Amino acid sequence: MSTQINLQVNGEHRSFSQEMFLPELLQELGFNQRLIAVEYNGEILHRQFWLKTQIKNGDRLEIVTIVGGG
C-alpha cells in the first residue's frame, strides 16, 4: 500500500512519500520557518496552527519568503 501524497506547492506539483505535519514539510523543502508566511488551501495559516496542521494528499500551499530591505 502506497502512502505517497501529491501536493501543489507554489503552483508546482510535488510528490512526497507520506503525510506529515507542516513544519516537517517546510524543513524538507528547505525553508527557514522564521522567515516565511504560509497559505494553506487558500487561507493564510497563522503560525500557532503549524504544528497541528497535517499535510494531506491534494493540499495546496503557497509559501512566501519574507525579505527585508531598506
Q: What is the pLDDT of residue 2?
A: 59
Q: What pLDDT was estimated at residue 70?
A: 63
Grid cell 506529515 — which residue? 20
Q: How large a percentage of the chain has pLDDT more than 90?
A: 89
Q: Are strands 60-65 and 5-9 parallel, antiparallel or unpaired?
A: parallel
Q: What are the pLDDT digits (tens) for 28-61?
A: 999 999 999 999 999 999 999 999 999 999 999 9
- Cα pseudo-dihedral 4, 52, 38, 10, rounded to 10: 10
